[in-house]
Amino acid sequence: MVGVILQSAVSIQIGIVVAYLLLALGVGLVAYRLTDRTAEDYYLASRTLGTVVLLFTTFATLLSAFTFFAGPNIAYGNGPEWILVMGLMDGVIFGVLWYVVGYKQWLVGKAHGYVTLGEMLGDRFGSSLLRGLVAAVSLFWLFPYVMLQQVGAGGALSALTEGAVPYWAGAGLITAFMIVYVVLSGMRGVAWTDTLQGLFMLTMVWAAFVWVLSAVGGIGPATDALASSNPEFLSLGGGLYSPQWMLSQAIGIAFGVAMFPQVNQRFFVADSEKVLKRTMALWPIVVLLLFVPAFMLGAWAAGLGVPMPESGNILPGLLAEYTPTWFAALVVAGAMAAMMSSSDSMLLSGSSYFTRDLYRPFVNADASDRREDLIARIGVAVFATLAFLASLYNPPSLFVIGDTAFGGFAQLAPPVIVALYWSRTTRWGMFAGILGSQLFYTVTTFTPPAGETTTVLGIVVPGVIETFGGWSSSVVGMAVGLVLVVGVSLVTDAAVAERPSVLAGPTDD
């Protein structure tokens, strides 16, 4: 009997996953029919995304897997204050960056036809080398991050089916589907599937919230249980949560998000200013609607004494306890599909950084639009396949890079923002700011804690300080980058090829 029930649960779960994959494929095919064979249309859907699509595609791309898994886990283990970090990070700071970085890039991109961040900066500073550097730095952090998504999706599919689908097959299946629909449909298909995904996530989170609360007698009893089991969770701060830590996380991640290729590229895709405006105003509301229920469920699970399941994620455990199998399966499958929606956008952006900023300037400058479009699609397949192969070996070094990717991207923000707003920024200032902050961040992140040593390839590496009075090396690295880009720009002259007017705008005097 139990075997039969398990069997049917597994088939429901597999059914839901397969249904999602087919839906994504269908959307991809429709989008393919509407897509011109040019790079601008493939990467940016010819800059025609509307409010709802732009909002959800940015949102689903970014936070999907985190909302369902990592976020509730943090609340379960340390208390729900992470909600405040998310509010500051994604609701407010990112909203402001949406304007400060996003709107400005949108204006510049629209006037000059840029598709990537590197392209914009390379043109402004008259330097293909800078263009290539921005792309290379971005790909260095992006590749392991994509690999982590595949590891997560493969693991989730394997856990979902009780091992009936082995890890490699799960990760491989998802990679193959992603390649097919991303290669076919480009930005338009990705944006449409993301929108479906985002609406689905919101619905699921609220359904889970209502379901669990009605099962335990409402908000009052749930919080009372938490107050008696973990009273420290309800008080603001304490444990992991220090002011420096909360600010470091919020600032480091918000700026990192703005520089993540798949998010930064979305700054170029809005249809009109109206779309950017509406999206900005909706941002805090979406953050509120998604994270308060998801993370409170994680915190309440601690009070309700739900044990952490073997999969290491508390939300599926909580749902298994209080909701019927089909519902828990729906949420878990949705979360898995959500990981795909993060990866597909990253694949697309990764491929565009490669073709636009590395292939075209350094390999084949005369590539036609059609050829570039073809290379872009091949690039997606190659990028996804390599990340899949890497995920089979799970190299620990790649894991560490993927885990610290937000900080790595955040280091790009100060030079980019200074360049966007200060016309005296010089090429040398940009190189110093980017290379200096990347060096600082990688050294402080990848070396062991101060006082310890580690051996890499027979060389003994001494430990370097990692936190600075409670502040993370990501935030301190951003300050280092800021000082370098401003300082070096002040003492160097602009090169002849530099064109400040590219960013300063047509009417600047």
Partner 1 sequence: MPNRTTSFAWGTILFVLMALAIPWFLWDSSAVAAGLPVWLWWHIGWMVLASAVFAVFTRRGWGVWMGGWSA
Contact string 397-416 vs partner 1 (x = CB under 8 A):
--------------------
Stretch that binds partner 1, among 236-244, 398-406, 447-455, 483-491 (CB under 8 A): 236-244
Task: Tell me how crowded residue 366 is: count the other CB atoms within 10 A of its CB.
Answer: 6
Contacting partner 1 within 345-364 (CB under 8 A): none
Q: Round to whole Å and give the CA distance between 485 and 489.
A: 6
By DSSP bridging, strand 467-468 and strand 471-472 are antiparallel
Beta-strand ranges (E) seen in 91-197 are: none
How many residues are given for the chain?
509
261 contributes a contact to partner 1 by CB under 8 A? no
Tokens, residue 325: 């199998």
Least distance between partner 1 and beta carbon 300 (Å):
11
219 contributes a contact to partner 1 by CB under 8 A? yes
Closest to partner 1 by CB, 190 or 222: 222
Q: Round to whole Å and give the CA distance between 104 and 120.
A: 11
Contacting partner 1 within 105-144 (CB under 8 A): 107-108
Q: Round to whole Å and give the CA distance between 109 and 129.
A: 20
Burial of 365 (0-12, 13-18, 19+ CB in 10 A): exposed
216 contributes a contact to partner 1 by CB under 8 A? no
At 471, is the secondary structure helix, strand, or coil? strand
Q: Round to whole Å and give the CA distance between 339 and 351.
A: 18
Least distance between partner 1 and beta carbon 124 (Å):
13
User: Residues 6 or more apart from 439 whose CB is under 8 A from it?
Assistant: none
Tokens, residue 471: 């502040």
Which residue carries 């915190």 as its tokens?
299
87 contributes a contact to partner 1 by CB under 8 A? yes
218 contributes a contact to partner 1 by CB under 8 A? yes
**Residue from 234, 392, 443, 483 binding partner 1 (CB under 8 A):** 234
Stretch that binds partner 1, among 45-53, 92-100, 183-191, 199-207 (CB under 8 A): 92-100
**Residue from 237, 240, 399, 471 binding partner 1 (CB under 8 A):** 237
Contacting partner 1 within 42-81 (CB under 8 A): 80-81
Tokens, residue 92: 């407010």
φ/ψ of 116, rounded to 5, equals -130, 160
At 454, is the secondary structure helix, strand, or coil? strand
Binding residues with partner 1: total (CB under 8 A): 55
Closest to partner 1 by CB, 92 or 173: 92
Least distance between partner 1 and beta carbon 322 (Å):
17
Least distance between partner 1 and beta carbon 455 (Å):
41
Tokens, residue 209: 């919230």
Closest to partner 1 by CB, 12 or 288: 288
- List interacting residues with partner 1 (CB under 8 A): 80-81, 83-85, 87-88, 91-93, 95-96, 99-100, 103-104, 107-108, 218-220, 222-223, 227, 231-232, 234-238, 243, 246-247, 273, 277-278, 280-285, 287-288, 292, 296, 421, 501, 504-509
